[in-house]
Amino acid sequence: MGNREKQRPWEDFLAIRGMRQVLTVTVALAVLIIAFSFLSPSFHSGRNVGNLLRQVAPIFIIGIGQTYVLITGNIDLSIGSVVGMSCMISATLMTKGVNPWVAMLLTIIVSIGVGILNGALVAKWKLPPFIATMGTMTVARGVAQIVNNNYNTDAIGKAAQSFRNVFYYGKIFGLYNTIWIAVVLFLVFDFLLSKTRSGRYIYAVGSNIEASKLSGVNTARSITIAYVVSALCACVVGLITSAAAGMGTMDAGNMYELYAVAAAVIGGVSTLGGQGILIGTVIGACIWGVLQNGLQFAGAPVAIRNIVIGTIVVISVLLDVVIRTEKPRRKIKE
């Protein structure tokens, strides 16, 4: 007792819960990258890597939000619709001549409202998260359709050029801004999740909500925070989408909620709550992107890509469930 030696830095790193799992996934990612590089030499061209990262960034950003929600033991299906909604709201406002940055702020406020609503439905009124967020998913998509009378918007125009540069076209140090946005969001939310009390409660609630309550944790607030983070991330992706397209499209973000689950789950976040780290979601999103992009380069049709990615998601969840249910049984035998 008491004579723990000074640990080496990499030991500290490995001691982070879930890090080993993330390393395994990272190895898988590396293998994929190497494999695709052999299959098509243009895969690792500088141009493609830049594009690939920009393609992955939105998936990763929504993955952050979904990771928060999954760790609390819930799910957010409204993400894709919030992407579409914020894409449409921001673009519509801009075409109506509203200053792009004001439009951005208004969009963020509306999205946060959706997050709070999700949190209230799930945490306060105890609706099953699947049903509650399926409801808000449908409503948010409806809002996306109604803001411009059921039409996609016109081009958001010259006034919005700076907005488009900040969110999509601009580059800093040779990397697209979209990627930098993802990096900043990662740093902020990873800090919140791993270093603050609110983050600790996100894990505690997902691990054992009763115990958390009895320890004096405001569980409803923790769950609501997770949903707000999720909606906020979706909103940022919506803004990126409208900046990229230069217009608002009503079905932007379609299916994104599931891509977000995929990124998180591949990265080792448990769908049963209490477990997962954000860096895992980064890797998960990268695997998702590399598969999409790599299979495309290798000439695989969309159908094959879907089958491959779907299979990988199911296997990831299966592994998680098997590991979780096997553990107690082994204990008894000890």
Which amino acid belongs to residue 137? M
Name residue 172's beta-bridge partners.
175
Alpha carbons 59 and 52: distance in angstroms, whole number: 11
Q: Which is nearer to other proteins, 105 or 211 (CB)?
A: 211
Phi (first) and psi of residue 171, to 5 degrees? -135, 145
Q: How far is CA 124 from CA 26, 73, 223, 248, in A?
A: 38, 15, 9, 34
C-beta separation of 115 from 173 below 8 A: no
The CB-of-281 to other proteins minimum distance in angstroms stands at 17
- The residue among 171 and 324 lying less far from other proteins, judged by its C-beta, is 324
The CA distance from 34 to 30, in Å, is: 6
Nearest distance from C-beta of residue 59 to other proteins, angstroms: 26
Q: Which is nearer to other proteins, 9 or 97 (CB)?
A: 9
Q: Which residues bind other proteins (CB under 8 A)?
A: 1-2, 4, 15, 17, 195-197, 199-200, 203-204, 206-208, 210-217, 274-275, 327, 331-332, 334
Helical axes 46-71 vs 219-245, angle rounded to 10°? 160
Closer CB to other proteins, 55 or 219, in the complex: 219
Q: How far is the CB of 224 from other proteins (least distance, A)?
A: 18
- Write down the least CB distance from residue 96 to other proteins, Å: 40
Q: Which is nearer to other proteins, 146 or 323 (CB)?
A: 323
d(CA 88, CA 91): 5
Q: What is the DSSP letter of 121?
A: I
CB of 223 to other proteins, least distance (A): 15
